[in-house]
Chains A and B, each alone.
Chain A
Amino acid sequence: MKNRVLLVLVIVAAATAWGLAFLTVAPNRLLTGTAIPLAQISTPWRDALLLPAVILVLGVLLPQRMRTHAVVGVTAALLLSGLVWLAGAEAARLAKTASATSRTALGGGFWLLALIAWLAAGDAIERLRLGPVASVVAHLCVLLPVVVLLFAGELQHLSLLKEYSIRKDVFFVALARHVQIVVAALLPTLLVGIPLGIVLFRHTKSQASVFAVLNVIQTVPSIALFGLLMVPLALLATALPGLRQLGVGGIGMAPAVIALILYSLLPIVRSTVAGLAQVPRPVVDAAVGMGLTQGQVLRKVELPIALPVFLSGVRIAGVQAVGLAVVAALIGAGGLGALVFQGLASGALDLVLLGVIPVVALAVVVDAVFRILENLRSTPRG
């Protein structure tokens, strides 16, 4: 057997296609649907998906050359977009005959097959041993056709997109609010965290105690920290009416943003210190020897060298903040979490997914952007 990873993926995929529901059809958005396995889907061209499937099976057996990996990668990406297209097309076909309230939802089989196709594509990209930036770009290219299908309206009859079209206005308000919370938390954290990190790097003695405090904050569960911040902020708003006019209060954005700042401080301060700590001593000495002042050394030598490590800290803080902002909906801050908890309360999976999927997409985008930035900076120029 040449490629055991692909072999396992192919076996799991075959079992999934055989046993799990590809789509489910329900009379309305709250009821559980009846399962439609892949075999019962009657959209024409369904069997075209067999071609990439066969190529992937061949990929298990073929000699593992670069060309094989490239073919497997492209085929797996095609299979992924083919699966998405098939789901959208079948939903559109069903919509012609069904009632207006009926919902065709993606089933467990679809999600698992899509995950497998994505993993197979990713594994092939990994085996091609591309550079770090090319690799991130290749991974994004795998998902690109899916995004194109989404924006081309091919998926509009799927229940998730129906849910979206009902709540389009609310959705964009929630999305904008989510981004607003994250940005409003990260900017002040950078303004405080970077100087704090620089000071701590110079005063090694106080590092332990500051990190101990930041670590304790990081340990406290988000819902608890949000709750604990409500009381002092509510008191503050009652005592100072001016603050209340600015929107500060026990519920809403203020406690959410403050809690996110507190959580983001640890990764940002830690990565600033770690980045500065890995600047080679001789480089600093040489800069001092050339007559640079301490401020110049910091700006022209230490910070540029520390940048990749520092950016990894910003990436962690950003991904974390995107996720934690979901919980902030519980204290009335709004954002995509509001859709999630509203969906949970009414048992509507589509609504939950309408909140969760953009959150995950936001986190993945933040992660990918900062990974590319880190690698751009760490590759030597010229």
Chain B
Amino acid sequence: MFLKKKTRTMVINGREVHLRPEKFYWSDFFMALPAVLILILITYYPVAELIRISFTDWRLTSREYDYVGWKNWIWLFTAKTSLRYLTNSLRVTFIYTIGNILIDLGIGLLLAHLFNHLTKPYSFMRALIFMPRYIAMSSCGIIFLWMLNTDYGVINKMLEWVGVKNHINWLGDDNLALVSILMLTGWHGVGYCMMIYLSALLGISRDYYEASSLDGATGLQQFRYITLPLLSPTTLFLFITTFISSMKVYQSVDVMTGGGPRQKTEVMVYYIYRLAFDDNRLDRASVVALLFFVVLLVITASTLRITNKNVHYEA
């Protein structure tokens, strides 16, 4: 769906025939050019710079640096300090990503079903659920920070009423801290997934359901054998976009926990940021960043490769 490479060869009468190359229009090329050039400047040029910095000993607070060869790369793969934090942040990032995908896609799909009702009150409720999405994460974080305060937060106070007397240490507990961040990002993002699923559901022809009802299929069966397969392009779309944005998560962690307690919420981007700005090690931050890009690229590419075969497109 993202990329369907056009075949340049065709098999005619058992012989492989090379098609003539497609026609080249300069005008088409120039239409794509501005966007591509700007993206190269604002994203690829910095990455190229990171490659260069990874061979230096550049400290953030310094304006001068020397080239030190592979030192930082060796550090990345051998130093105890590197491996400790690297494996930790990779693990945290993956757990967060899986959790966030489950929440956004899973709950998003459930909500899409629940709110798949074209009446005014439902449309109003949908709008409300979508609302968190248009508040900046940096602001949402502050709201949650306050609601989740251990002793004075409204959530713990309300839990007190239902009998949870011990205040839950949402942001300080080893396991709950990440859950709290998932709560925040889930709250922020689920409405968006719901909307996209909903728009996909509306696109599915009623005929499928009517036909299967006549055959005596239950609602669950319809969901399993009609809805889910027909939603698979949507799911893939959401999966890829949510996957990438979850792997890049930073802002919510920054506002809520600052990576704590003891790196339990230190996701990759936060770790890289910490190396660069707390430890002032731009050089080390660069090698970790480059490794992270490779990981992200490999996973995304292989996901696309695998799923492209299993996605059902509506005719």
Chain B associates with chain A: no
B-to-A contact residues, CB < 8 Å: none
A-to-B contact residues, CB < 8 Å: none
